[in-house]
Amino acid sequence: MLKSLLVAAVAVAALSSPSAVQADSHKDIVDTAVAAGSFKTLAAALQAAGLVDTLKGKGPFTVFAPTDEAFAKIPKAALDALIADKAKLTKVLTYHVVAGKVMAADVVKLKEAKTLEGQMVKINAASGVMVNNAKVVKADVEASNGVIHVIDTVLMPQ
């Protein structure tokens, strides 16, 4: 018990490093991400998939949000093809969203979480927090309709 609490405390402390993303409980998830300036590709992808209104909805939602740098890891041709395929893009983007507001203190207790896409993502808090192969680089960015956890890699469903 003490070990798991210590792991959770270390993980939460490690995720609290400064970042360009600032919590604003008056803005929804989309507006919070757009205001940060480091999610231009995500915002464009949400627009292309027609998911902006969904993530501006009541929620609550937990979004594992890839930065522009995370999207830059995908070869340009593959990213362009993904954005052009609305069904596939929707599948990828909803794979980044979990129903409910799951704060870092709760995320570190999980082994997996079911996404809105329908598949599970694996969560590992052994050293930092990993969601599948993506590292959470900033956690608990609160918004009026949920929370954002910033990740360094785009998650791809099977």
pLDDT over 80 at 10, yes or no: no
Asked if the structure places residue 110 within a domain, the reply is yes
pLDDT over 50 at 151, yes or no: yes
Under a CB-based contact definition with an 8 Å cutoff, are residues 147 and 27 in contact?
no
Question: Is the CA virtual torsion 132, 137, 140, 145 positive or negative?
Answer: negative
Look at phi and psi of residue 100 and say left if phi exceeds 0, alpha if psi is from -120 to 50, else beta.
left
Asked if the structure places residue 145 within a domain, the reply is yes
User: Considering only 19-23, 25-29, 46-50, 143-147, which range has the smallest mean pLDDT?
Assistant: 19-23
Q: What is the CATH number of the domain that holds 143?
A: 2.30.180.10
Q: What is the pLDDT of residues 34-79, one digit of tens each?
A: 999 899 999 999 999 999 999 999 999 999 999 999 999 999 999 9
Report the predicted TM-score, pTM, of the whole model to 2 decimal places.
0.83
Asked if the structure places residue 156 within a domain, the reply is no
pLDDT over 60 at 14, yes or no: no
Q: Which residues contact 47 (CB under 8 A, 6 or more apart)?
A: none
Domain count of the fold of the chain? 1
Asked if the structure places residue 51 within a domain, the reply is yes
Asked if the structure places residue 87 within a domain, the reply is yes
Asked if the structure places residue 157 within a domain, the reply is no
For residue 25, what pLDDT is reported? 58
For residue 26, what pLDDT is reported? 80
Give the structural domain span for 65: 2-151
Asked if the structure places residue 158 within a domain, the reply is no
pLDDT over 60 at 16, yes or no: no
CB atoms within 10 A of CB 47: 12
